[in-house]
Chain A
Amino acid sequence: MFELETAPANAQNLRRVAIDPVSRVEGHGKVTLLLDDNNKVHQVRLHIVEFRGFERFIQGRPYWEVPVMVQRLCGICPVSHHLAASKAMDIIVGAATLTPAADKLRRLMHYGQILQSHALHFFHLSSPDLLFGFDSAVAQRNIVGVAAAHPDIAKKGILLRKFGQEVIRMTAGKRVHGTGSVPGGVNKSLSAEERAALLKDAYTMVAWSRDAVAIIKQLHQQNPALYDRFGSFRSGFMSLVAPDGSLDLYHGALRARDADGKLIFDQADYQGYDALIEEEVKPWSYMKFPYLKSLGPENGWYRVGPLARVQNCDSMPTPFAEAERKEFVAHGQGKPIHATLAYHWARMVEMLFAAETIKDLLHDDDVESHDLMITGGQRAAEGVGVIEAPRGTLIHHYRVGDDDLVTMANLIVSTTHNNQAMNTAVRTVAQQYLDGHEITEGLLNHIEVAIRAYDPCLSCATHALGQMPLEVSLVDAEGTVLDQVVRDSHGQTRRDTPASP
């Protein structure tokens, strides 16, 4: 499936079609296709076009700032970055095991995040494609269109997301970019009123999550040919699992399987993630391409996120979700499910798991406890924090000096793990649907449907910056040059920034 990555030598004779920006996803990306006169597809690439350089400018900051800073990578899953950084810093401050209350409050925050992000993705971003069809009218393909045609579905989606955001607000202090988690614990527990307010709605959220699973199952049943085949390809899977092999999105060890479902490694301590995973850089994307070192870049790439997690684990700890997991796995008839659109089904099963977990945690009196911090632990120089973010395995790795300042940061965000998979998905769809056809808006949306299934967070996914022979000037409203960059063909960057006033 790699033939479409790079067009053969005649690329200059091909016609370029771009989907720019990819919409109803988070962050900045575009797809380019190269086609010949007969509309035969020669190249398809998903480019990640933004650079922000977080890993570099975090260096020199005090470690306790990091959990609050890094969440500005991503406004959809800020809690994931907040907690992955906190977990790494727990190791730095010698608090690898938290108080029971802190552990439960962080879990509550995290499952609130899973619930709101999965609801947002399914209802606000993807449901228009699934409910109306991939080539339905552009004007209808959004949450407003869903609200008009299916007010009940839209309303439940909005309120599920709201509930998740409220769980986050009450544990983190704010809906977006809170401050609740700190190295060694948390700084806030729930008040009795907050707990009661959440409990009041928790059962409804479980019920509505069950409805959501029913919707996506029904869509599969109505059109199995589409849902099982669309953009489907084989790959390995990776995720965290609990010590007993069950699903745990907050903490665990790494497990990877190959495309046939056979274990590649299991219960691998993520402090040693860098012995397992390596990253490749391709010249046309700012997002790197990770792969399992033992298998190499050609065969070692894998998928993360709901489709991987639901199949990688041996069970789910909550009853409704476990029943749904079994039904999902049974759909594969003994083989791993590789269908791109099955991500949605798996995602809704996870949303149900999150809703049930939130309900259970709210029944635990520890969430009102004030025993929130471990202090005075043995300092370490290096720490890795890994969490299963809504989109998949999220890795934060830091080194901190004796002066408390960060000296090294390396992040592998969830969407980056799926980079090769998303590219393979769009190439598969291009071959299945576009090859040889007159390109229409609806056909191009098929490509975006494949990308959306992965729920990419392109905002998170930028570690790097580009280099090309180009000149860019930034001119203000009065015509004064504010900034100018010139990059020559040798890749040397020259700056002509006027002195600051």
Chain B
Amino acid sequence: MNAPKLKVATTSLAGCFGCHMSFLDIDERILDLVELVEFDRSPLTDIKHCGPCDIGLIEGGLCNAENVHVLREFRHNCRILVAVGACAVNGGLPAQRNHLQLSEILEEVYHTSPGLAAGSRIPNDPELPLPLNKVHPIHEVVKIDYFLPGCPPSGDAIWKFLTDLIAGRTPALGHGLLHYD
């Protein structure tokens, strides 16, 4: 009893938050989980930067410079880094823009799309992170310890994965929980 709680951080990079929703789909088991773990940086807390953590859960791939920065912060601080969902694992749906030229999308969104006010210009403020040419899966940039497929992985899959890991077992999803849609 009263073993120190494991620290878990989560973040969404170029994802849709669906993987975080699926995490919440463990429903009332979240109340059991918080007996075992403590949350660090996460969209669910107000901790803005990741401290030393045991487990880091990453949703989403890399679509801009800021994503890369946050991913490195997580890798630096987390003992175990997990790619959660299709976007983190292989870029996911946002990677469908990879066959298009960024400049072409730019033209479209700011010059030819309907309903724009006259004189609309492309946002260019230094506060906005620069988009990458292509959306990249996160393992291309840092070492990833586990890959959890699915769009999103179900709440049950995330629960099984985390409880295995917390109990010191090698996580194994097995039939039914391992899926790619």
Contact = CB atoms under 8 A, between A and B. Distances in A.
A284 B127 contact: yes
Interface string A18-48: 0111011111101010000000000001010
Majority DSSP secondary structure for residues of A touching B? mixed
Interface stretch (A191-199, A201-209, A319-327, A480-488): A480-488
Most B CB atoms within 10 A — which of A161, A445, A465? A465
Contacts of A212: none
Nearest to B108: A56
A303 interface: no
Interface stretch (A69-77, A86-94, A218-226): A69-77
Given A176-B21, A466-B131, A474 B141 contact: yes
B171 interface: no
A468 B125 contact: yes
Given A144-B39, A483-B136, A410 B131 contact: no
B43 A175 contact: no
Interface in B56-78: 62-66, 68
Nearest to A158: B28
Interface residues of A, number: 89
B170 interface: no
A53 B62 CA distance: 14
Interface stretch (A235-243, A248-256, A274-282): A274-282
Contacts of A78: 16, 18
Contact of B16 (A25, A72, A472): A72
A301 to B, nearest CB: 12
Contacts of A144: 34, 39
B109 interface: yes
B65 A472 contact: yes
Given A474-B136, A483-B134, A141 B45 contact: yes
A257 B5 CA distance: 52
A13 to B, nearest CB: 17
B128 interface: yes
B142 A477 contact: yes
A482 B125 contact: no
A50 B14 contact: yes
B50 to A, nearest CB: 12
Given A75-B17, A465-B106, A278 B117 contact: yes
A147 interface: yes
A500 to B, nearest CB: 10
Given A49-B64, A144-B34, A279-B116, A459 B122 contact: no
Interface string A460-475: 0001111110101011
Contacts of B12: 27-28, 459
Given A56-B97, A158-B28, A279-B117, A286 B152 contact: no
B133 A477 contact: no
B149 interface: no
A495 B102 CA distance: 9
B124 A155 contact: no
Nearest to A78: B18
A174 B153 CA distance: 11
Contacts of B129: 49, 466
B24 interface: yes
A142 interface: yes
Interface string B138-161: 001111000000011011000000
A283 interface: yes
A277 B115 contact: yes
A30 B63 contact: no
B63 A50 contact: yes
Contact of A52 (B21, B48, B97, B113): B97
Given A281-B116, A491-B124, A483 B102 contact: no
A157 B162 CA distance: 23
Contacts of B123: 281-286, 464-467
Contact of A286 (B34, B117, B128): B128
B113 A410 contact: yes
Nearest to A48: B128
B35 to A, nearest CB: 10
Given A52-B63, A279-B116, A487 B130 contact: yes
Contact of A23 (B18, B43, B97): B43
A171 to B, nearest CB: 16
Contacts of B126: 468, 470
A24 B19 contact: no
A212 B114 CA distance: 41
A217 interface: no
Nearest to B135: A52
A47 B125 contact: yes
B120 interface: yes
Contact of B133 (A19, A51, A74, A497): A497
B46 A175 contact: no
A256 to B, nearest CB: 16
Contacts of A495: 102, 133
B17 A410 contact: no
A351 interface: no
27 contacts: A19-B48, A24-B46, A27-B17, A45-B127, A47-B125, A47-B128, A52-B94, A56-B109, A57-B96, A72-B94, A74-B18, A75-B16, A75-B21, A141-B45, A142-B45, A158-B28, A159-B28, A177-B18, A281-B120, A284-B128, A297-B117, A465-B106, A474-B62, A477-B141, A477-B142, A491-B124, A495-B133
Q: Which 8 A-B pairs have the closest CB atoms?
A: A75-B18, A284-B125, A281-B120, A75-B17, A466-B128, A72-B93, A280-B117, A75-B16
